[in-house]
């Protein structure tokens, strides 16, 4: 009951929903950078939604299974095949023992999440099977996959062959393919927003233009980006003071501005505290879009209110999502 990484790809790691109760001890959340995409993929194959799967960055993964499995993936626009058959995002595929699943390079976005029926069977560390790449623990030996790695899978209860090789049914498009060609990330103001505003009676349009540029001009994704954060290059964001700040809590979605004025959007492997000013915070429902940003991409930001951000979170887990999960609690192999 294993899957062999014939080719491990550029950067593939075991991830689930991450470690959510240890940030006060300095432990990063880790986990899938788009937990909603992993959740949907798991439901498609009949798993509980928090079961560990694989996060695949920039493709190149080639997996061979030693028993029958059902798989599904969600994320960027990847070229995925079961043998010579195309497997689109959000559809399930039945793989027989010895068959291979291959991921090509993405056309849009850079990451996708693969769910395997019953899930990946690695050791729980601090309540999660996620890989902490900086801490080098959890997941598969605390690291990304390498060619030839044999990944343990949880046992399958019995065997039932689905009526079709590739399912005709799928989840809503925006759930299975969140990557955008011209992404706009919505944000709420950060605690240091006013440090980029002109003080009363001073700085005039110079201070105001900083925030205007932040919300009206695009930023390019730097090659110096990873699961910890996305470094952005664009209009310089200048503070109106030079006061040293006390380090405070940060979280995935926080946008920090170092002294050079080029913002950093923090992702799942980010540190737990930081001393750079926090100009904004990308709303939770848009972190899946942020996870698809790759070097050279352009991104813009749009401000929304905190109540609107709360509404978006509720809508992601609203009646449509709950109904979908209820309908797919029945094992999709039947």
Which one of 154, 179, 204 terminates a domain? 179
Q: Is 333 among the domain residues?
A: no
Are residues 35 and 118 both part of a single domain? yes
What integer is the mean pLDDT of 38-53? 96
Q: Is 68 among the domain residues?
A: yes
Q: Is 320 among the domain residues?
A: no
The pLDDT score that the predictor gives to residue 93 is 96
- Any bridge partners for residue 185, and if so which? 301
Are residues 40 and 146 both part of a single domain? yes
Are residues 145 and 224 both part of a single domain? no
- Number of compact structural domains in the chain: 2
> Which domain does 195 fall in, by range?
184-303
Are residues 62 and 147 both part of a single domain? yes
What kind and span of H or E run contains 326?
helix 319-327
- What's the pLDDT band for 241 if we cut at 50, 70, 90? confident
Half-sphere exposure in the Cβ direction for 100 (13 Å, CA): 14
Q: Is 55 among the domain residues?
A: yes
Q: Is 315 among the domain residues?
A: no
Are residues 32 and 76 both part of a single domain? yes
Are residues 166 and 19 both part of a single domain? yes
Instruction: Give which of 252, 239, 234 is closest to 299, Cα–Cα.
Output: 234
- Beta carbons of 188 and 313 less than 8 angstroms apart: no
Are residues 143 and 241 both part of a single domain? no
DSSP code string of 196-213: GSPPTTSSTHHHHHHHHH
Are residues 171 and 253 both part of a single domain? no
Sign of CA dihedral 274, 275, 276, 278: positive
Which one of 113, 146, 179 terminates a domain? 179
Q: Is 313 among the domain residues?
A: no
Q: Is 314 among the domain residues?
A: no
CA 131 to chain centre: 13
What does the pLDDT look like over 76-117, one tens digit per residue?
A: 999 999 989 999 999 999 999 999 999 999 999 999 999 999
CATH at 234: 2.40.100.10
pLDDT at 326 over 80: no
Q: Is 297 among the domain residues?
A: yes
Are residues 199 and 109 both part of a single domain? no
Are residues 64 and 152 both part of a single domain? yes
The pLDDT score that the predictor gives to residue 160 is 60
The pLDDT score that the predictor gives to residue 289 is 96
What does the pLDDT look like over 163-208, one tens digit per residue?
A: 578 999 899 998 999 999 999 999 999 999 999 875 444 444 444 4
Are residues 23 and 139 both part of a single domain? yes
């Amino acid at each position: 009951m294993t899957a062999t990484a014939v080719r491990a790809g550029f950067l593939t790691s075991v991830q689930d929903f991450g470690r959510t109760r240890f940030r006060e001890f300095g432990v990063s959340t880790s986990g899938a950078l788009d937990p909603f995409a992993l959740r949907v993929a798991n439901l498609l194959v009949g798993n509980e939604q928090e079961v560990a799967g694989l996060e695949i960055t920039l493709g190149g993964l080639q997996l061979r299974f030693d028993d029958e499995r059902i798989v599904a993936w969600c994320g960027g626009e990847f070229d995925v095949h079961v043998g010579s058959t195309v497997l689109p995002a959000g559809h399930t595929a039945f793989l027989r023992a010895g068959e291979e699943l291959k991921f090509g390079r993405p056309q849009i976005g850079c990451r996708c999440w693969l769910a395997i029926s019953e899930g990946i069977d690695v050791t729980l560390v601090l309540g999660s099977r996620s890989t902490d790449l900086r801490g080098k623990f959890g997941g598969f030996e605390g690291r990304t996959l390498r060619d030839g790695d044999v990944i343990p899978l949880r046992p399958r209860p019995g065997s039932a062959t689905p009526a079709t090789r590739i399912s005709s049914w799928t989840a809503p498009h925006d759930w299975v393919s969140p990557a955008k060609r011209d992404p706009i990330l919505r944000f709420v103001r950060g605690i240091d927003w006013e440090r980029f505003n002109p003080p009363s009676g001073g700085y005039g349009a110079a201070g105001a233009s900083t925030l205007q540029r932040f919300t009206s001009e695009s930023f390019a994704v730097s090659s110096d980006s990873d699961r910890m954060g996305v470094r952005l290059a664009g209009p310089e964001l200048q503070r109106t003071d030079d006061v040293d700040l006390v380090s405070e809590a940060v979280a995935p979605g926080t946008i920090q501005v170092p002294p050079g004025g080029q913002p950093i959007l923090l992702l799942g492997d980010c540190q737990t505290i930081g001393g750079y000013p926090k100009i904004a915070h990308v709303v939770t429902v848009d972190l899946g879009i942020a996870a698809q940003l790759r070097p050279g991409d352009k991104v813009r930001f749009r401000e929304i209110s905190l109540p609107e951000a709360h509404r978006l979170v509720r809508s992601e887990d609203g009646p449509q999502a709950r109904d979908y999960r209820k309908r797919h609690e029945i094992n999709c192999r039947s």
